[in-house]
């Protein structure tokens, strides 16, 4: 079998099973584990998968640029946003991260809801500009243009002084054993502080982001109390249910 054929086989298996193992691929393709390891490394270098110990798992299929993400899977985001609303109550202090799912929640906040929204997201601040009962605190810092959020020292210092009731965390990638990850290092540092300074963390994640991984670690799955998704009956959620998470 040619190398390009092995590559396609590996990617097809990954697409259907959400993980591949070195030993299994070696047996199925009748080549050495070292050959499979080199194949996986090359596919990782091309950004087509994420190599992990003993095999590989997918990257998140979600676009990295905010302008591309804003229209991506919008129907699922609206389902997730509607499910998140009952968690919001008068008097709460709520962190909204820079994810487009968090933006979807902000877009449908009831006009009579009296909460304090804390965010580093320019689009969320703009969305809530005319909301009469939402107090909005914006974290300053350096503009990360790809995501329209602030990052850096000033942003981290701002969130370290917050004690929020709830954090609405837009998910890029979440894996039951490898935790929550993101493609950008500075965003991962900001999200860590958001999580650490919130009493409860709610992950907003469409189903295709589950069991995927990106380079920069945010937190273990145990730090997430609730996952709100568009397909709560999906088998992918079983390990999260076993871990004691609430699934909506």
184 with 116, same domain: the answer is yes
- Tokens coding 4: 């390009």
Taking the C-alpha atoms of 66, 163, 201 and 155 in order, what is their torsion angle to the nearest 10 degrees?
20
Instruction: State the CATH number of the domain containing residue 220.
Output: 3.40.50.1360
53 with 120, same domain: the answer is no
Looking at residue 21, what is its pLDDT? 87
Place of tokens 């097809």: 12
The mean pLDDT of 118-141, rounded to a whole number, is 95
122 with 230, same domain: the answer is yes
Decide which of 57, 77, 98 is a domain's last residue.
57
Report the side by side order of strands in the sheet with 50-52: 20-21, 55-57, 50-52
183 with 78, same domain: the answer is yes
121 with 242, same domain: the answer is yes
- Tokens coding 135: 């107090």
Q: What is the pLDDT of residues 46-68, one digit of tens each?
A: 877 888 888 888 877 766 666 65
Place of tokens 């959020």: 149
Looking at residue 45, what is its pLDDT? 82
- By residue count, the chain amounts to 248
Cα distance between residue 134 and residue 112, in whole Å: 9
Instruction: State the CATH number of the domain containing residue 21.
Output: 1.10.10
Q: What's the structural domain count of the chain?
A: 2
The mean pLDDT of 152-169, rounded to a whole number, is 97
219 with 122, same domain: the answer is yes
43 with 104, same domain: the answer is no
144 with 76, same domain: the answer is yes
CA distances (Å), 83 to each of 71, 75, 97, 102, 227, in order? Answer: 19, 13, 17, 12, 10
Looking at residue 13, what is its pLDDT? 83
49 with 89, same domain: the answer is no
211 with 88, same domain: the answer is yes
Looking at residue 149, what is its pLDDT? 96
CB within 8 A of 49, min separation 6: which ones? 10, 11, 14, 40, 43, 56, 57, 58, 59
Cα distance between residue 158 and residue 95, in whole Å: 12
30 with 75, same domain: the answer is no
86 with 145, same domain: the answer is yes
**Residue range(s) defining the domain that contains residue 168:** 66-247
Burial 58-74 (b: 16+ CB within 10 A, else e): bbbebeeebeebeeebe
CB atoms within 10 A of CB 12: 11
pLDDT band at 20 (very low <50, low <70, confident <90, very high): confident
**60 DSSP assignment:** P
Cβ atoms of residues 131 and 109 within 8 Å = yes
- What pTM was estimated for this model as a whole? 0.82
Measured between its terminal Cα atoms, the distance across the chain in Å is 45
């Amino acid at each position: 079998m040619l190398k390009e054929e092995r590559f396609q086989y590996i990617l097809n298996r990954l697409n259907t099973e959400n993980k591949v193992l070195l030993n299994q691929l070696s047996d199925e393709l009748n080549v050495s584990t070292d050959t499979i390891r080199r194949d996986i490394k090359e596919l990782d270098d091309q950004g087509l998968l994420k190599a992990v110990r003993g095999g590989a798992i997918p990257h998140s299929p979600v676009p990295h640029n905010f302008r591309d993400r804003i229209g991506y899977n919008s129907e699922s985001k609206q389902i997730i946003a509607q499910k998140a609303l009952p968690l919001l109550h008068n008097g709460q202090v709520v962190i909204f991260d820079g994810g487009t799912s968090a933006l979807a929640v902000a877009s449908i906040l009831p006009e009579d809801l009296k909460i304090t929204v804390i965010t580093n997201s320019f689009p969320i601040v703009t969305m809530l500009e005319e909301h009469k009962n939402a107090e909005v605190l914006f974290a300053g810092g350096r503009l990360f243009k790809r995501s329209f959020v602030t990052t850096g020292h000033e942003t981290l210092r701002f969130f370290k002084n917050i004690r929020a009731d709830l954090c609405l965390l837009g998910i890029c990638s979440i894996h039951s054993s490898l935790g929550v990850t993101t493609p950008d290092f500075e965003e991962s540092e900001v999200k860590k502080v958001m999580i650490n300074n919130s009493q409860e963390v709610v992950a907003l994640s469409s189903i295709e982001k589950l069991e995927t991984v990106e380079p920069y670690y945010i937190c273990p799955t145990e730090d997430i109390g609730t996952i709100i998704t568009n397909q709560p009956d999906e088998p992918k959620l079983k390990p999260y249910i076993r871990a004691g998470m609430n699934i909506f």
